[in-house]
Amino acid sequence: MENPNLNYIDELSGGDIEFKNKLISIIKEEFPKEKELYYKLLGLQDYKLVAEIVHKLKHKISILGLEKSYNVATNYENNLKLGNPNLKDQFDVIMMTISNYLIKI
């Protein structure tokens, strides 16, 4: 499993610590809410809405440097649009990895 990192955020911020901290703060605020909504909708088996949340989460996956996980999320989103949640277990690992990482930074 790949590890999240701040490389893209560092590059984007160009050394501006305030901007970097703002981006991290936004991710730390939005991710848990989106994750909670993801699991709620998943429980309702509303796969089209789940796909929309996965789409939002996938941008955070990318920002945190998780390229392989981004590909999994893209495939998962496309499958969900077809009513197929078969990549759920892989996506769950990604969600846990990000959750654990955000606690540490």
Q: Global pTM?
A: 0.93
Residue 44 in 3-state DSSP? coil
* CA–CA dist 80, 47 (Å, integer): 5
pLDDT at 1 over 90: no
Summarised one tens digit per residue, pLDDT across range 14-66 is: 999 999 999 999 999 999 999 999 999 999 999 999 999 999 999 999 999 99
